[in-house]
Structures are given as C-alpha cells and as structure tokens.
Amino acid sequence: MTIAKKHSVLSILLILGLPLFAVIHLFAGQIDVSFNDVINGLFNYNENIVNQLIIREIRFPRMLIAIIAGASLSVAGLLMQTLFNNPLAGPYVLGINSGSSLFVALSIMTGIPFFTSELGLISNALIGAFIFGLIILFFSRMVKTQVSLLLVGLMLGSFISAFVSLLQSVSNAQELKIFTLWALGSLQKVSFEQLPIIIAVALIGILSVFLIVKPLNILVLGETEAKLLGVNIRKTRLIIIAITAILTGLVTAFCGPIAFVGLAVPNLVRILFKTQNHSLLVFASLLFGGMFILICDIIIQFLEPYFMLPINVLTSMIGAPLVIFFILKRLK
C-alpha cells in the first residue's frame, strides 16, 4: 500500500469514526432513550418530556464538548510538540493548564462579579494560559534536553498548585467548594446555550492553526534550520503560544483540567500516520482527539451504574502510562 493510500484509508476511518462514536455517545448512559427521543430532543424539543430534556440539555452538550475538548487539547499538544521540538510536550505537562487554573482560582476567590461571570472566567483562563505559555517558552531556551523541559513544566505545575492550595486556605468555604469542584474536571457543566460561544472560540483557534501549517512543517527541523528557510521565528512562536492559549484556556475554563490528552494523541497520530506533514497531523489530531475523549466518556457512561469516574481520572489512567512508554522509547 502506498503512503498516500494508507493516509487516505486512515483519514476516512477517522472521518467515519468520529460521528459514529458521537452517535453511540448520545445513546450511552443509564437512561435508555429511543431514536425518536434523540431526533425530537434535537429538532423538535419539548422540555416537558424528560428523555428529550436529557438528550438536549445533558447528552448533546456533553458529547459536543467532549469532541471540542479532545480536538482542542490534541491540537494544542501538537503545537507545543512542534514548537519545542519535543514529542513529550503538551499543555498539561508543561503547566499551561495549571496557569489557566491559577487565574481561574484567582478570579473565583476574589469574588469580583466580573471575574466570576462566564466571560470573566474564559478570559482569565486564556490569559493564564498565555502567560504560562510565555514562561515555559522562556525556560525552553535555557534547557538542553527534551526530558528536562518536561521536568521544568511539571515543577511549574506543582508550584502553581501549591500556590492555588494557599489561595484555597484563605478563601471562604463556599468559594473553596466551587473551585475544588471545578478543579475535578467535568464534561457535564456546559449548557446548550453556551455551545455557540464555545464552538466559535474553538473554531477560531483551530482554523488559525491551518494558517501556520507551513512554518509548523519547517519548525520540525528546529529553529536554526527554520530561520535559514525564511521563517520569522519570533512571530511564529508568539502565534503558536497564542493559539495554544486559546485552545487550552477554552477547555480549561469549561471543563477544568483534562490531563495527558494533548501529549498522547499527537504522538499516537504520528505513530499511525508516520508523517510530519502538519496539515495531515492537525487534521488527524482534531478527529482522533475528539474521538479519544468521546470513547473515554462512553466508557465512563458505561461504568456509571457501578462507579462514577471523573473524566480527568480516566484520561490520566490511559495517558500517563502512554507518556511513560514514550519517554522510555526516547531514552533508550
């Protein structure tokens, strides 16, 4: 099979797989819903029928945010990996999530109404992600090896969580509770009415990635080579950090932290596609990332009658061993 043919087959599988799992997700869960409930819930909504309410207000937003979160985090991870020339990079391990969390914590704890509004929460999450993106960029110029950047990121993450704990200890009980629960991570908080703004922000982030595919492809060779091929490194770096901040901040604001997806998915996509062509990598990471969290959430819904698993716990259970595997593969 030629490479191009293999890529088309994989792409078609992803294109078909995402809607397939999306539909399965709509039907998964403890409450049995009929095909008609789903159709009516989406197109002919009557909020007095509980099954339609469950489809429209609970399952549909949960399904869509699962796809958006998976797609956004995976592309953000891919961007980090290319920018730092480091397959072990990702928004979670480099502390970008934590930066977002810190700013959200600050905004919740201060109790200033603007900050606790929806817009305030998103903008704080974005600003936090951007600032910590710049910080990790600064450190990346100082460390030599891929694993040490990872360590710096993890330490940054620990430092922030210590700081957040300090904030928690001085805040009052109810604010503390709201923050603690936010920090657990959840796909279930988004409401139907919030979807348009989330989709809009995600699209802005994702579409702008396609505008920088060319410099991304060249950056794979490292910054020295990229410069020799005419890439404006400073500008490209800032654009990448900004897009990463939008994508990570959006997900962090609405779902809380979701670990390791951003690191694991782009690596899996590279292993599957065996290419460094970023138009293909971005496209595949979007679909595969969306599918990854959908499948995780289907598993969670399936297990609900026995025990409740937060999304962040499941992605860590799958993601962390993968990361160890990638590290071992690098170090050998």
Q: Which is nearer to another protein, 3 or 155 (CB)?
A: 3
- Tell the smallest beta-carbon distance from residue 290 to another protein (Å): 20
What is the Cα–Cα distance from 87 to 72, expressed in whole angstroms? 17
Tokens of 32: 């049995």
Compute and round to an integer the Cα radius of gyration of the chain.
20
Q: Which amino acid is at 67?
A: I
Cβ 61 vs Cβ 194: under 8 Å: yes
Please report, as residue ranges, which positions from 95 to 114 form the binding site for another protein (by CB under 8 A): none
Q: Which of 41, 70, 77, 87 binds another protein (CB under 8 A)?
A: 87
- Tell the smallest beta-carbon distance from residue 287 to another protein (Å): 18
What is the Cα–Cα distance from 43 to 191, expressed in whole angstroms? 17
Query: What helix, strand, coil percent values describe the chain, rounded to 5?
Result: 80, 0, 20
- Tell the smallest beta-carbon distance from residue 132 to another protein (Å): 25
Please report, as residue ranges, which positions from 290 to 319 form the binding site for another protein (by CB under 8 A): 304, 307-308, 310
Q: Does 235 bind another protein (CB under 8 A)?
A: no
What is the Cα–Cα distance from 173 to 186, expressed in whole angstroms? 21
Q: Does 54 bind another protein (CB under 8 A)?
A: yes
Q: Does 147 bind another protein (CB under 8 A)?
A: no
What is the Cα–Cα distance from 138 to 140, expressed in whole angstroms? 5
Applying CB under 8 A, the residues found at the interface with another protein are 3, 29-31, 47, 50-51, 53-54, 57-59, 87, 116, 173-174, 177-178, 181, 184, 186, 188-191, 210-211, 213-214, 217-218, 220-222, 224-225, 227-230, 232, 270-271, 273-277, 279, 304, 307-308, 310
